[in-house]
């Protein structure tokens, strides 16, 4: 499953004191969509044997999302090498297609038992590329 996306409305709990989506909420959405993509693409056996941790978030905010906006959040894997996978997430206004946020996150794959970095298996790479 190369791409994954969801559409939903901005609700009051998403807002900060300036009445636009809180930056922390964007980080939560980035992590949530990444996890949902992973869980939708791989088997339960893979999910229990490998885990991902964030190594680096790079987030660029282009516009503000406001209460009642319908947004689309999309993600894909840009590249992978060794235990590191670079995932891109975009958040757009679903009505206007205007870019709100773009992130590039490096995730590190760990063995679920030892918590040591693990090279991404080719079979797993193939599911996302």
Cα–Cα dist 118/82, whole Å = 8
Can you tell me the mean pLDDT for 28-33? Answer: 98
Can you tell me the mean pLDDT for 50-70? Answer: 97
Q: Is the pLDDT of residue 17 over 80?
A: yes
| Rg of the chain taking only CA atoms, in angstroms | 16
Residue 129 confidence (pLDDT)? 80
Using pLDDT thresholds of 50, 70 and 90, give the confidence band for residue 95: very high
Enter the pTM of the model: 0.95
Q: Is the pLDDT of residue 1 over 90?
A: no
Residue 75 confidence (pLDDT)? 98
What dotted CATH number matches 3-128? Answer: 3.10.129.10
Question: Domain boundaries in the chain?
Answer: 3-128
Cα–Cα dist 67/94, whole Å = 14
Beta-strand ranges (E) seen in the chain are 3-9, 50-61, 70-81, 84-93, 99-111
């Amino acid at each position: 499953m190369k791409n994954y996306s969801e559409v939903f409305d901005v609700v009051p709990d998403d807002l900060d004191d300036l009445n636009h989506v809180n930056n922390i909420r964007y980080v939560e959405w980035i992590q949530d969509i990444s996890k949902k993509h992973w869980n939708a693409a791989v088997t339960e056996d893979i999910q229990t044997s490998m885990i991902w941790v964030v190594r680096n978030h790079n987030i660029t905010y282009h516009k503000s999302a406001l209460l009642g906006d319908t947004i689309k959040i999309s993600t894909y894997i840009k590249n992978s090498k060794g235990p590191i996978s670079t995932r891109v997430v975009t958040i757009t206004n679903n009505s206007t297609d205007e870019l709100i946020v773009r992130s590039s996150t490096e995730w590190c794959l760990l063995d679920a038992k030892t918590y040591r970095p693990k090279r991404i298996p080719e079979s797993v790479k193939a599911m996302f590329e």
